[in-house]
Amino acid sequence: MANPGGGAVCNGNLHNHRKQSDSLQSGNCTKNGIVKEAQQNGKPHFYDKPIVESFEEAPLHVMVFTYLGYGLGTLFGYFRDFLRNCGIEKCNAAVEREEQKDFVPLYQNFENFYTRNLYMRIRDNWNRPICSAPSALFDVMERVSDDYNWTFRFTGRIIKDVINMGSYNFLGLAASYDESMKTVKDVLEQYGLGVASTRHEMGSLDKHKELENLVAEFLNVEAAMVFGMGFATNSMNIPALVGKGCLILSDELNHASLVLGARLSGATIRIFKHNNMQSLEKLLRDAVIYGQPRIRRAWKKILILVEGIYRTLWIIYEFTHIVLLMLHP
C-alpha cells in the first residue's frame, strides 16, 4: 500500500522511502518473508515474473486423429440416437415414465450424449470390482456384458495379481497391518465408522476441533473450518457464503462441485484463466472499479474459487499472489 506522502505501509508500519534508499531503488517491502513490489506510478505490481506452466506438447498427428475420432464418434452418436427415436435400435438407457413427462427433466438430452454413445462402448475398462487389498497388485472379479456394457454379470472367476495403476491407497495402509493400523483400529472402536462423515450426521467431535486448531495454528490465522472431502462440501457450502449481489471469480479448471456450488448460489460468475494471476487481477480490478452491472453498486462480496492442488494436472496453486491481490485490490 502507499500513502500520499510517498511511503509504503508494510505490516502496519510506515516506511519512508526517503530514509530507506534501498527500498527506493528496489521498490520492494517484505511481509512475512514475501517480497512485494511497492506502488509505482499509482499502479501496484505484485509479480517478479509471470507464472508459466510447461506441459508436453502433443504431436500434430495425435491431435488430428484425436479430433477426428471425436468427430466420427459424434456423427455415429447422432445416427444411433436417430435409430433409437425411430424404434429401430433398442434404447437401454434409463428413460422417464409417461406420468413424468410434464415435469421439468432432470438433465438435458445432450448432457448424456457422450455417456450413452461413447463411454458405454468402453465402460468395461472402469469401475472394476476388486476382491482384495488395493496394494500394488490386487484381485479383480471377472464380469461380462450381454448388452454392450449397459449391464454386467459376474462369472464367478477371480483374476489374480492385476497391476494397480490408480488407487486412493496412497500410503499403502490398506495392504499391510502394522502399528499405524492398530492405531486406526483403536480410533474406530472409540469413535465408530462414521467419524469421517458430515457433522450433520455425527456431530462435532473433539477430533474435529483439535484438527481445526492445528490447521489454524499452521496457517497462522485466528480460526479454521475443516470439512470432510466430498462433492457436497463445495456444492452446498458455497451458497451459504455468497448469494445474489455477490461476485464469484472462478478458475476455468475448477472441479464440477465448485462449478455447481457457484451456480446454486445465484451469484454472478466470471471465469479467469487457469492459475493466471494477471487474468484474475484484471477481473478483480474491474469488479472493484465498476461494481455490479447496470446499477454500478459495489459487490456485496467477492469470492475467489480455486483448488489447492489440481489432481488431474498435479498443479499446486499460487496462493501467495492471490493473497496479495486480496490485500491490494
Does 37 have pLDDT greater than 60? no
Q: Which residue has the higher pLDDT, 173 or 311?
A: 173
Quick check: 8 and 327 in contact, CB under 8 A?
Answer: no
The predicted model gives 83-103 an average pLDDT of 82
Reference 28, options 19, 20, 38, 18; nearest CA is 38
Least trusted range by pLDDT, from 55-59, 172-176, 182-186, 230-234? 172-176
Cβ neighbours of residue 16 under 8 Å, at least 6 residues apart?
Answer: 5, 6, 7
Which range has highest mean pLDDT (19-23, 46-50, 175-179)?
A: 175-179
**DSSP of 14-58, one letter per residue?**
EE-TTT-HHHHHH-EEEETTEEEEPPBTTB----SS------PPP
Better pLDDT: 27 or 104? 104
The pLDDT of residue 27 is above 90? no
Instruction: Return the higher-pLDDT residue of 282 and 136.
Output: 282
Residue 279's nearest CA partner among 253, 241, 308, 314 is: 253
Percentage of residues in the chain with pLDDT exceeding 70?
A: 75
Q: Average pLDDT over the chain, rounded to whole?
A: 77
Residue 112, φ and ψ in degrees, nearest 5 = -105, 10
pTM for the full predicted model = 0.50
Give residue 165's pLDDT band: very low, low, confident or very high (50, 70, 90).
Answer: confident
Number of neighbouring beta carbons within 10 Å of residue 211: 13
171 vs 131 pLDDT, higher one:
131
**pLDDT tens track for 126-145:** 888 989 888 888 899 999 99
